[in-house]
Structure 1
Amino acid sequence: LASVLDLHSKKIVGYSFSRSMTTELVIKAFNNAHLSQKPSEGLVLHTDLGSQYTSNEFTQHIQNHHIKQSFSQKGCPYDNACIESFHALLKKEEVNHVQYLDYQTAKLAMFQFIEGWYNRKRIHSSLGYQTPQAIEDRIRNTA
């Protein structure tokens, strides 16, 4: 699972699921996020130092969208704490409790967890006990 999290709303705004973690997978997750959010120029995309994110193909793709890429420092897990927290939560609340029958079942479960639970129903204390979707809705209604 490659996922893109909006740091303000804590919403997973883009993701892609595959059998392996490739540059194409993270580009697809980015494209999903970019399409849904339509960010203005000047956006900063923070990633870890995984080979998918440091590849020339991904770097060029990000630059073509006028987005600045920021990396975690080597050995500093705190830079990626928010997305790492999401992935840990996904494992604790979903993945570790289920034995998926096949790839398609796992893919559907990721969709249901992200879109049906995490973004729309799971409240966050850091968001004043609101959901990521509620925060995004409020932002869009005031813009």
Structure 2
Amino acid sequence: MVPMPNKVWAADITTINTREGWLHLAIVLDLFARRVVGWAMSARQNADLPIAAMIMAFDQRQPAAGLICHTDQGSVYGSKDYRTMLEEHGVRPSMSRRGNCHDNAVVESWFSTVKNELTRHRIFATRAAAIAEISDYIELYYNLRRPHQTLGYRSPIEVEKRHAMPN
């Protein structure tokens, strides 16, 4: 259990099928309330993709130095550009053990949820259509309204708001 926002983030990349080809989705989750704090989508999977997701998260959250960001051992997360970006923002990287998807289980669970609720047995007509629908899913549904069993059937934003309220 992470005691407050902006202490531990986790990130990963998945693929979404479209008639134009694959769309790669990089996300950053704040593990306190499982809120998606950054994401990016692109037809290409290179270091620019998770960097864009992290920059979005930094811009939205402005975390203090010392934040931990956990990822798998994918090549983009080990790239010099990605590591430099983390260092410039005072982020401590953490990586899963080689070949152990359970080390990043919260993000893998998020991917399973979005695929079950939005993309299962579906091929988007275009990448643009997928980007629009996934963005709406994250901002208008998942973060704002989707209840989580592990959060006492509250949404990520509701949990963060309750945490921010004075006792």
Q: Normalising by the residue count of structure 2, what TM-score does the alignment of the two structures yield?
A: 0.82
Number of the residue aligned with 2:134: 110
Number of the residue aligned with 2:42: 18
Number of the residue aligned with 1:63: 87
Which segments of 5 or more consecutive residues in structure 1 lack a partner in the other structure? none
How far the C-alpha of 1:97 sits from its partner, in A, is: 4.6
**Cα RMSD over matched residues?**
1.4
Q: How does 1:71-82 map to 2 (within 5 A)?
A: 71-82=95-106
How far the C-alpha of 1:9 sits from its partner, in A, is: 0.6
SS at match of 1:112: helix
Which segments of 5 or more consecutive residues in structure 2 lack a partner in the other structure? 1-24
Q: CA separation of 1:55/1:142 partners in 2, compared to 1, >3 Å: closer, same or farther?
A: farther
Distance 2:44 2:145 in 1: 29
Distance 2:165 2:78 in 1: 36
Are residues 1:46 and 2:70 paired? yes
Q: Percent identity?
A: 34
Q: Displaced runs of 4+ in structure 1, greater than 6 A? A: none
Q: How does 1:95-106 map to 2 (within 5 A)?
A: 95-106=119-130
Distance 1:99 1:51 in 2: 27
SS at match of 1:94: helix
Letter in 2 for 1:47: T
In terms of fraction of residues, the more strand-rich structure is 2
Number of the residue aligned with 2:15: none
How far the C-alpha of 1:112 sits from its partner, in A, is: 1.1
Letter in 1 for 2:95: F
Distance 1:52 1:127 in 2: 31
In terms of fraction of residues, the more helix-rich structure is 1
SS at match of 1:20: coil
Are residues 1:85 and 2:109 paired? yes
Contact 1:5 1:83 in 2 (8 A): yes
The size of the alignment, in residue pairs, is 143
Number of the residue aligned with 2:165: 141
Number of the residue aligned with 1:4: 28
> For residues 101-121 of structure 1, what are the alpha-carbon distances to aligned partners after superposition, in whole Å with 9 as ceiling and x for unaligned?
211101001101111111111
Number of the residue aligned with 1:28: 52
Give the stretch that moved more between structures: 112-121 or 52-61: 112-121
Contact 1:2 1:21 in 2 (8 A): no
